[in-house]
A and B are shown apart, each in its own frame.
Chain A
Amino acid sequence: MTFGNESDISWGDDDFSQAFFFQVPVDYENQVFIRVFDPDIGGSIDEIRGNWNTQCQFEVYGGEGCHSEEDARETSPFGNYKSGTLLDMKVFGESSRYDESWYTFGPFNPAEGEALELVNNYYVFKVICEGITGDDGNMFRYFLSTSANENIPIEGANAFAYEYSFRMHNDINEVSHIYPYIAEGTLTVQISNFDWDNDGNILVVSRERQGQLIEISNEADWVDDQIKVFEGEVGLSYDLQMPKRKPVLVRNNNVVVNVRNQYDETMPFYTSPIGGVPKYKYSIIME
């Protein structure tokens, strides 16, 4: 979810800018497409404030520095966060053509991304969506595809972000998940959340952690909570489970989450958790 830059942060977007990264395995030799669903600001999915007056700009970056630049990996759009080579760009406003439809960026040669060794060797692309005007909320979705016209996943590919601004489910039985990756050398993890507004809980689950509650924020507020990393968690992902408040539904609750290590470095969270969805490892002792 990205709001126009004239929005109130209490609506759930702290900086009206969202960067997403897509990684393609280096041995993938075909072209790739970055597709966006409902990129326009209008229609039934997006969040209107008054009238539809918002425009969002989508920029696709590759090349050296698009990820490795430090500012690119920060949680706020400051400094040289638009690092790398601009490969494509489009501005969307209210558009019936792209309302609840797909727009495709590309084709891109994977080598146009920045070559990186994150967990394995990848090429990385960055997509920044910013609300450049207005005060409405733009809810959209990405897909990294081998095809311009349909969503065909690329084997071994993944997507990640360093800060995630999203809308919680409008269903009290639904649970949102994000999966921060715990890299080698991580000793402590700080989980920060914004504008949770008493809508449920955040639980950290891992192989070693059954479910640890994290402090949640109030309206338009940031809260940081720190946990110690267990040895068995390194090299795997956390499952940040975000169940809704019950029994009364809080609708259209937009929130922001980011994760940092003990060096205050941002930690990525992946759409496909590295090491699989973490499940606490129970064991039975009989004595």
Chain B
Amino acid sequence: MKGRIFILFFLLLTGFNASAQKYEIDRRTFGNSSNWEVAPVWYGDDSADTMLFLSNKPSTGAVEFTDDEGNRLTNIYIVGRKENGEWGNPVLFDEDLTTNSHDGPITFTKNKKMLCVVRQYGYKTPGFEKSGSGGLFFAYKDGDSWSGIVPFEHNREDLNFYSPFLTPEGDTLFFAAENMPDSYGGFDIYMSRLVDGSWTAPENLGPNINTSEWDCYPFLHASGQLYFSSEGHRAMRKDIFVSRKYNETWLPAIPLQIEAINDRYDQYAFIISADYNKGYYTRKVNTGVQSDIWGFSFPVDDNKRIEKVKKNRYCFRLRENSLDTIDYDIFDYKWMINDTVIPGHDIQYCFPGPGDYQIDFYVTNKLTDTTIVGASMFFQLELISQAVISLAGSSTLPDTLFSNEEMVFSAENTYLPDVDIAGYIWDFGDGTKMTGEKVRKTYAFPSLEKYMIKLTVLERIGPRDYQPYKTFEEEILVVPGK
């Protein structure tokens, strides 16, 4: 019974997005495709055209170092993008950080003045017998070089620390650790804070993140969402999962909602840009086969033209502007709007919809028994020219939605008569992007939060060409559902 409930909950959390997503996913090779390339990171922030990654490409030196299994060692490489948009040749990141053992993964602060890198305790050199587990080491930029390499104060040779992630300001460190006394099993993800110059004791992120299996490669997104890799959480193999904090507690992790990334192979070391438009991860198809870096990107909606969705207004106050006296003993007043008669001199009227309206204001002098049309006006009620975010079958979007409830969002009420609409891009503000006039979406996290939904209209400019026309946004409040 418990298993069935869990499955049901799991399905509710994933949110079925049908085939509406259009992330482009492909293998990205920075160097030689025959080499092992893993764990990409941006050098600085995600707008940087410089990446670092780990690779086991052959040494250019006289001695080729290997690990205990005879595998070539991984080193940290840096690669930049050329003017033509292609990646250049990767080179070793820094000689001072290169050891005779496996180096990396690595992480940086946003200002690139501080880094944290994994180093193995033992160095495999001819005559050296033991390679040990890894520890975390910090380095600080001093001019052009990295210096002052300092070990993480909680390193221990009987513990194995891996895949660090530094927050942009460098005050919080996430990492994976093995053999910790409070571990749930395998590698678990921990967090440590820099307080008064010292790092706090590593704190296990808890059972909603960590499992009895392998949990590794944490990446904290600018939104506060934590992405990580796991063999638990009913993953097929190593899959990417995501969680976020709510009321100081990590919510139960859910699978990554970008379709086609989690598959039957291994996915890990996931990173994604702050605007959710692009990212990288490592994919390994089978044992013995090298791992490769894969990238994904969403159709560009880098559109600076953003407008709030305005409510179409159908209800107005109509009044006679200059009445010096309103004396119903002498006068009767009424309005005739097309064929509809509404008594009174000051009224609220809701037009049934867009269209042309003849508005006449009638005054009857009860003493002389005469009726005149006191004033007239012709009114054209038009819809506001804009994209409209609504739920399917409705013309509006509610202010409040429930989490864990699948909804069909629709752009069907869009009114842009002068635009040849080629399509729509949806951004739900929680890392989910989709394309299509109607999309299914579930806000999976049961937290009280506001999200800005953005709908970008794509305008056709050629038989197969389109460009972003404008982005329309509307804020909603998601409250915990059942």
Chain A residues engaging chain B, CB cutoff 8 angstroms: 173, 175, 200-201, 203, 208-213, 241, 243, 279-287
Residue contact B330 to A285, C-beta cutoff 8 Å = no
Q: Which of B69-77, B186-194, B221-229, B313-321 contacts A (4 or more CB under 8 A)?
A: B313-321
Residue contact A213 to B321, C-beta cutoff 8 Å = no
Cα-based distance from A285 to B346 in the complex (angstroms): 10
Residue contact B375 to A283, C-beta cutoff 8 Å = yes
Residue contact A284 to B324, C-beta cutoff 8 Å = no
Give chain B residues whose Cβ lies under 8 Å from the Cβ of A200: 367
Residue contact A210 to B323, C-beta cutoff 8 Å = yes
A sample of 19 inter-chain contacts (CB < 8 A) reads A200-B367, A203-B330, A203-B365, A210-B325, A211-B331, A211-B365, A212-B324, A243-B367, A243-B369, A282-B361, A283-B320, A283-B321, A283-B375, A284-B359, A284-B376, A284-B377, A286-B317, A286-B318, A287-B319
Give chain B residues whose Cβ lies under 8 Å from the Cβ of A280: 374
Given the interface pairs A283-B322, A284-B361, A286-B379, the reply to whether A241 lies near B316 with Cβ below 8 Å is: no
Give chain A residues whose Cβ lies under 8 Å from the Cβ of B367: 200-201, 203, 211, 241, 243
Give chain B residues whose Cβ lies under 8 Å from the Cβ of A241: 367-368
Main secondary structure of the interface of A (DSSP, over half): loop
Cα-based distance from A283 to B331 in the complex (angstroms): 16
Q: A279-B372, A286-B316, A286-B359 are in contact. List 9 more A-B contacts (CB 8 A).
A: A203-B365, A211-B365, A212-B325, A243-B368, A282-B375, A284-B319, A284-B377, A285-B321, A286-B377
Give chain A residues whose Cβ lies under 8 Å from the Cβ of B359: 284, 286
Residue contact B325 to A287, C-beta cutoff 8 Å = no
Within the complex, which residue of A201, A203, A208, A287 is in contact with B316, where a contact is CB–CB below 8 Å?
A287
Chain A residue at smallest Cβ distance from B329: A213
Which of A213, A279, A282 gathers most chain B CB within 10 Å?
A282
Cα-based distance from A175 to B367 in the complex (angstroms): 9
**Nearest Cβ distance between residue A119 and chain B, in whole angstroms?**
26
Chain B residues engaging chain A, CB cutoff 8 angstroms: 316-325, 327, 330-331, 359, 361, 363, 365, 367-370, 372, 374-377, 379
Which of B317, B320, B322, B367 gathers most chain A CB within 10 Å?
B367
Chain B residue at smallest Cβ distance from A200: B367
Given the interface pairs A175-B368, A208-B324, A210-B323, the reply to whether A282 lies near B363 with Cβ below 8 Å is: yes
Which of A200, A211, A212 gathers most chain B CB within 10 Å?
A211
Cα-based distance from A125 to B331 in the complex (angstroms): 41
Given the interface pairs A282-B375, A284-B361, A284-B377, the reply to whether A209 lies near B324 with Cβ below 8 Å is: yes
Chain A residue at smallest Cβ distance from B317: A287
Residue contact B330 to A284, C-beta cutoff 8 Å = no
Chain A residue at smallest Cβ distance from B320: A282
Chain A residue at smallest Cβ distance from B345: A282
Give chain A residues whose Cβ lies under 8 Å from the Cβ of B327: 211, 213
Given the interface pairs A211-B330, A213-B330, the reply to whether A284 lies near B365 with Cβ below 8 Å is: no
Give chain B residues whose Cβ lies under 8 Å from the Cβ of A203: 330, 365, 367-368
Residue contact B368 to A284, C-beta cutoff 8 Å = no
Chain B residue at smallest Cβ distance from A203: B367
Give chain B residues whose Cβ lies under 8 Å from the Cβ of A175: 368, 370
Give chain A residues whose Cβ lies under 8 Å from the Cβ of B323: 210, 282
Cα-based distance from A279 to B322 in the complex (angstroms): 13
Residue contact B363 to A173, C-beta cutoff 8 Å = no
Chain B residue at smallest Cβ distance from A280: B374
**Nearest Cβ distance between residue A137 and chain B, in whole angstroms?**
26
Cα-based distance from A281 to B321 in the complex (angstroms): 10
Cα-based distance from A282 to B323 in the complex (angstroms): 7
**Nearest Cβ distance between residue B270 and chain A, in whole angstroms?**
54
Give chain A residues whose Cβ lies under 8 Å from the Cβ of B374: 280, 282
**Nearest Cβ distance between residue A213 and chain B, in whole angstroms?**
7
Residue contact B320 to A284, C-beta cutoff 8 Å = yes
- Give 8 nearest A-B pairs by CB, closest first: A282-B374, A282-B375, A285-B321, A283-B321, A243-B367, A243-B368, A175-B368, A284-B375
Within the complex, which residue of A173, A211, A282 is in contact with B322, where a contact is CB–CB below 8 Å?
A282
Chain B residue at smallest Cβ distance from A172: B369
Residue contact A281 to B379, C-beta cutoff 8 Å = no
Given the interface pairs A175-B368, A210-B324, A280-B374, the reply to whether A285 lies near B319 with Cβ below 8 Å is: yes
Cα-based distance from A209 to B326 in the complex (angstroms): 11
Give chain A residues whose Cβ lies under 8 Å from the Cβ of B324: 208-210, 212
Give chain B residues whose Cβ lies under 8 Å from the Cβ of A284: 318-321, 359, 361, 375-377
Cα-based distance from A241 to B366 in the complex (angstroms): 12
Give chain A residues whose Cβ lies under 8 Å from the Cβ of B361: 282, 284
Give chain A residues whose Cβ lies under 8 Å from the Cβ of B379: 286
Cα-based distance from A273 to B29 in the complex (angstroms): 94
Cα-based distance from A287 to B376 in the complex (angstroms): 15
Cα-based distance from A95 to B379 in the complex (angstroms): 64
Give chain B residues whose Cβ lies under 8 Å from the Cβ of A211: 325, 327, 330-331, 365, 367
Cα-based distance from A284 to B323 in the complex (angstroms): 10
**Nearest Cβ distance between residue B78 and chain A, in whole angstroms?**
63
Cα-based distance from A201 to B327 in the complex (angstroms): 14
**Nearest Cβ distance between residue A134 and chain B, in whole angstroms?**
36
Give chain B residues whose Cβ lies under 8 Å from the Cβ of A282: 320-323, 361, 363, 374-375
Chain B residue at smallest Cβ distance from A212: B325
**Nearest Cβ distance between residue A169 and chain B, in whole angstroms?**
12
Cα-based distance from A212 to B361 in the complex (angstroms): 20
Residue contact B322 to A281, C-beta cutoff 8 Å = yes
Chain A residue at smallest Cβ distance from B322: A283
Cα-based distance from A285 to B317 in the complex (angstroms): 8
Give chain A residues whose Cβ lies under 8 Å from the Cβ of B318: 284-286
Cα-based distance from A173 to B365 in the complex (angstroms): 12
**Nearest Cβ distance between residue B379 and chain A, in whole angstroms?**
7
Cα-based distance from A282 to B320 in the complex (angstroms): 7
Give chain B residues whose Cβ lies under 8 Å from the Cβ of A212: 324-325
Cα-based distance from A214 to B157 in the complex (angstroms): 107
Cα-based distance from A287 to B319 in the complex (angstroms): 9
Cα-based distance from A241 to B330 in the complex (angstroms): 13
Cα-based distance from A172 to B242 in the complex (angstroms): 87
Which of A210, A279, A283 gathers most chain B CB within 10 Å?
A210
**Nearest Cβ distance between residue A209 and chain B, in whole angstroms?**
6
**Nearest Cβ distance between residue B356 and chain A, in whole angstroms?**
14
Chain A residue at smallest Cβ distance from B318: A286
